[in-house]
Amino acid sequence: MNQEILIIDDQPGIRMLLTDVLKNEGYKVTTAADGKEAVNKLYTNTYQLMIVDYKLPVISGLEIVKMLNKDKIEIPVIVISGLTDEIEKELADNPLVKEILAKPFDIYHLLKVVKNITG
């Protein structure tokens, strides 16, 4: 398969969980702990999918998605957040955002979404 997914979350536990689960499914996984690190990776590598926490230090998940749109970088995005009601309105019109998942999310549902997006 060798599809690469970028996981951006400031919580090490979530990064580790998602990395383990996705690697077990055959995906290649790269992680970033904050928005600045993520942006550096996004502009130097190619990913089939980005899973991003809405609230991040330095550059927020929302700002990252806006940058990708502005620079016409086509990468499907799954946004994870504890505040889904507030952000659904903000991200509703964004063509890159394929799914918004509330924390704590169901890992099986997340895997299903990832598989649907990556084909």
Name the packing angle between helices 107-118 and 12-24 (round to 10°): 60
Question: For domain 4-118, which architecture applies?
Answer: 3-Layer(aba) Sandwich (3.40)
- pTM (predicted TM-score): 0.95
Q: What is the pLDDT of residues 53-104, one digit of tens each?
A: 999 999 999 999 999 999 999 999 999 998 777 788 888 889 999 999 998 9
Separation CA 78–CA 97 (nearest Å): 6
The residue among 82 and 19 whose pLDDT is bigger is 19
Domain segments of the chain as ranges = 4-118
Separation CA 82–CA 41 (nearest Å): 25
Please give the angle made by the CA atoms of 101, 103 and 104, to the nearest 5 degrees. 120
